[in-house]
Amino acid sequence: MTTQAQTAGIALDYLKTIGIVNNGLNGRGFANPYDIAVSGDGRIFVLNRCDPARAAAIRVGVCTLDEDYLFEFGDGAGDGDTQFRWPVALAFDSQERLYVTDEQNHRVTVFDSNGQFLHKWGTPGRGDGEFNGPAGVAAGPAAGSGGDAIYVVDQHNARVQKFDSGGGFVGQWGSLGSGPGQFNLPWGVATDAAGSVYVADWRNDRIQKFTAEGEFLAAFGSPGYGEGQFQRPTQVAVDGEGYIYVADWGNERVQVLDSEGRFQVLLRGEATISKWAQEYLDANPEEAAERDRSDLTPQLPPHLNTPYHISSQTEPYFWGPVAVSLDGGGRLYVVETNRHRFQVYQRR
Say what the pLDDT of residue 6 is: 44
Residue 51 β-bridge partners: none
**Cβ–Cβ under 8 Å, residues 33 and 335:** yes
Structure confidence at residue 1 as a pLDDT band (50, 70, 90) = very low
CA dihedral 47, 48, 52, 56 (to 10 degrees): -110
Q: Which amino acid is at 67?
A: E
Domains in the chain: ranges and CATH: 2-347 (2.120.10.30)
Inform me whether the pLDDT recorded for 102 exceeds 80: yes
Torsion of CA 74, 88, 118, 144, to 10 degrees: 160
- What torsion do the CA atoms of 100, 138, 331, 282 make, to the nearest 10 degrees? 10
Give the H or E element holding residue 278: helix 275-283
- Output the average pLDDT for the chain: 95
Type of residue at 115? G
* Position 195 pLDDT exceeds 70: yes
Amino acid at site 338? N
For residues 37 and 99, give the distance between their C-alpha atoms in angstroms, rounded to a whole number: 10
What b-and-e string marks burial along 317-333, b requiring 16 or more CB atoms within 10 Å of the CB? bbbbbbbbbbbeeebbb
159, 175 contact by CB (below 8 A): yes
Q: How far apart, in Å, do the first and last CA atoms of the chain sit?
A: 17
Average pLDDT over residues 186-214: 97
pLDDT for 135-193, tens place per residue?
A: 999 999 987 767 899 999 999 999 999 999 999 999 999 999 999 999 999 999 999 99
Q: What are phi and psi of 333, to 5 degrees?
A: -110, 125
To the nearest 10 degrees (0 to 180), the angle between helices 275-283 and 285-293 is: 110
Other beta carbons within 10 Å of 259: 16
Radius of gyration of the chain (CA): 19
Yes or no: say if 163 and 136 are a contact pair by the CB < 8 Å rule. Answer: no
Segment 258-273, tens digit of pLDDT: 999 999 999 999 999 9
Is residue 2 pLDDT above 60, yes or no? no
